[in-house]
Amino acid sequence: MAHRLFVAIRPPEEISDLLIDAMDDSPEFRWQDEEQLHLTLRFVGEVDRPVAQDLADALTRIRSDQFQIRINGVGRFEQRSSGALWAGVEPKAPVAALATKIERIYGRRYDPVSEITITTGATEGLFAALTALVDRGDEVVLFQPVYDSYVPAVQLSGGRPVFITLRPPHFRIDWDDVRRAVTSRTKVIVINSPHNPTGTIWSRDDFTELERVLQQTGAVIIADEVYEHIVFDGARHESVARYPALAERAVVISSFGKTYTTTGWKVGYCAAPAELTALIQSVHQWIVFAVNGAVQMAYADAVARDPECAGVTAFYQRKRDLFLSLVAGSRFRPLRSAGTFFQLLDYSDISNAGDEDFAIAMTRTHGVASIPLTPFLHAGETADRIVRFCFAKRDETLTQAADRLRAI
Ligand code: PMP
| Domain termination site, one of 290, 305, 320 | 305
Let me know: does 191 contact 202? Beta carbons within 8 Å: yes
Find out whether the beta carbon of 147 lies less than 6 Å from any atom of ligand 1: yes
Let me know: does 25 contact 264? Beta carbons within 8 Å: no
| Domain termination site, one of 305, 321, 349 | 305
Q: What percent of the chain has pLDDT over 90?
A: 63
For residues 210 and 368, give the distance between their C-alpha atoms in angstroms, rounded to a whole number: 39
Find out whether the beta carbon of 122 lies less than 6 Å from any atom of ligand 1: yes
Do β-strands 116-119 and 371-372 pair in parallel, antiparallel, or remain unpaired? Answer: unpaired
Position 14 scores a pLDDT of 62
Return the number of other C-beta atoms located less than 10 Å from residue 289's C-beta.
11
Say yes or no to pLDDT of 4 above 80: no
Least-confidence region, from 173-177, 186-190, 278-282: 278-282
Atom of ligand 1 nearest to the CA of 126: 10
Q: Say if residue 35 is in the same domain as residue 57.
A: no
Position 293 scores a pLDDT of 78
Q: Could you give the C-alpha distances from 47 to 192, 260, 264, in angstroms and in order?
A: 20, 10, 10
Q: Say if residue 24 is in the same domain as residue 59.
A: no
Position 207 scores a pLDDT of 98
Q: What is the mean pLDDT of residues 359-376?
A: 88
For residues 199 and 338, give the distance between their C-alpha atoms in angstroms, rounded to a whole number: 5
Query: Exposed, middle or buried by CB within 10 Å (0-12, 13-18, 19+), for 386?
Result: buried
Distance of CA 75 from the midpoint of ligand 1 (Å): 21
Find out whether the beta carbon of 343 lies less than 6 Å from any atom of ligand 1: no
Phi–psi pair at 71, nearest 5 degrees: -105, 115
Position 32 scores a pLDDT of 47
Q: What is the mean pLDDT of residues 355-367?
A: 89
The arrangement of strands across the sheet holding 77-81 comes to 70-71, 77-81, 84-88
DSSP secondary structure letters along 248-292: TTEEEEEEHHHHTT-GGG--EEEE--HHHHHHHHHHHHHHTSB--
Q: Say if residue 62 is in the same domain as residue 177.
A: yes
Q: Say if residue 183 is in the same domain as residue 252.
A: yes
For residues 162 and 44, give the distance between their C-alpha atoms in angstroms, rounded to a whole number: 28
Q: Say if residue 159 is in the same domain as residue 278.
A: yes
Find out whether the beta carbon of 190 lies less than 6 Å from any atom of ligand 1: no
Query: Is pLDDT larger for residue 24 or for residue 54?
Result: 54
DSSP secondary structure letters along 171-201: ----HHHHHHH--TTEEEEEEESSPTTT---
Find out whether the beta carbon of 327 lies less than 6 Å from any atom of ligand 1: no
CATH number for the domain spanning 401: value is 3.90.1150.10
Find out whether the beta carbon of 199 lies less than 6 Å from any atom of ligand 1: no
Q: Say if residue 11 is in the same domain as residue 83.
A: no
Q: Which residue's CA is the nearest one to ligand 1's atom 12? A: 122
| Domain termination site, one of 305, 326, 344 | 305
Let me know: does 26 contact 365? Beta carbons within 8 Å: yes
Find out whether the beta carbon of 263 lies less than 6 Å from any atom of ligand 1: yes
Find out whether the beta carbon of 268 lies less than 6 Å from any atom of ligand 1: yes
Say yes or no to pLDDT of 63 above 80: no
Q: How many helices (H) and strands (E) does the chain have?
A: 17, 14
For residues 241 and 33, give the distance between their C-alpha atoms in angstroms, rounded to a whole number: 46
Query: Is pLDDT larger for residue 90 or for residue 273?
Result: 273
Distance of CA 371 from the midpoint of ligand 1 (Å): 16
For residues 271 and 100, give the distance between their C-alpha atoms in angstroms, rounded to a whole number: 12
Distance of CA 120 from the midpoint of ligand 1 (Å): 11
Return the number of other C-beta atoms located less than 10 Å from residue 239's C-beta.
24
Let me know: does 164 contact 183? Beta carbons within 8 Å: no
Q: Say if residue 40 is in the same domain as residue 91.
A: no
Distance of CA 148 from the midpoint of ligand 1 (Å): 9
* β-pair partners for 117: 270
Distance of CA 303 from the midpoint of ligand 1 (Å): 19
Domain of 67?
53-305
Distance of CA 255 from the midpoint of ligand 1 (Å): 7
| pLDDT tens, residue by residue, 168-179 | 999 999 999 999
Distance of CA 122 from the midpoint of ligand 1 (Å): 6
Position 272 scores a pLDDT of 97
Let me know: does 20 contact 167? Beta carbons within 8 Å: no
Q: Say if residue 256 is in the same domain as residue 128.
A: yes
Atom of ligand 1 nearest to the CA of 192: 3
Q: Say if residue 222 is in the same domain as residue 242.
A: yes
Find out whether the beta carbon of 259 lies less than 6 Å from any atom of ligand 1: no
| pLDDT tens, residue by residue, 66-91 | 555 555 544 555 443 333 333 444 54
Position 87 scores a pLDDT of 45
Query: Structurally, how many domains does the chain consist of?
Result: 2
* β-pair partners for 255: 268
Q: Say if residue 240 is in the same domain as residue 339.
A: no
Select from 195, 193, 282, 183 the least CA-distant residue to 238.
193
Q: What is the mean pLDDT of residues 332-336?
A: 98
| pLDDT tens, residue by residue, 15-44 | 666 666 766 666 555 544 555 544 555 456
Let me know: does 180 contact 125? Beta carbons within 8 Å: no
Position 92 scores a pLDDT of 57
Position 116 scores a pLDDT of 92
Angle at 50 between CA 48 and CA 55, to 5 degrees: 140
Q: Say if residue 175 is in the same domain as residue 35.
A: no
Q: What is the mean pLDDT of residues 244-265?
A: 95
Select from 352, 371, 351, 350 the least CA-distant residue to 360.
371
Find out whether the beta carbon of 120 lies less than 6 Å from any atom of ligand 1: no
Q: Which residue's CA is the nearest one to ligand 1's atom 5? A: 196
Find out whether the beta carbon of 200 lies less than 6 Å from any atom of ligand 1: no
Q: Please report which helix (H) or strand (E) contains residue 154, including its range.
A: helix 150-156
Select from 124, 85, 135 the least CA-distant residue to 224.
124
Q: Say if residue 210 is in the same domain as residue 326.
A: no
Q: Strand, coil or helix: what is 160?
A: strand
Position 89 scores a pLDDT of 47
CATH number for the domain spanning 90: value is 3.40.640.10
Q: Could you give the C-alpha distances from 170 to 76, 164, 165, 200, in angstroms and in order?
A: 44, 15, 12, 8
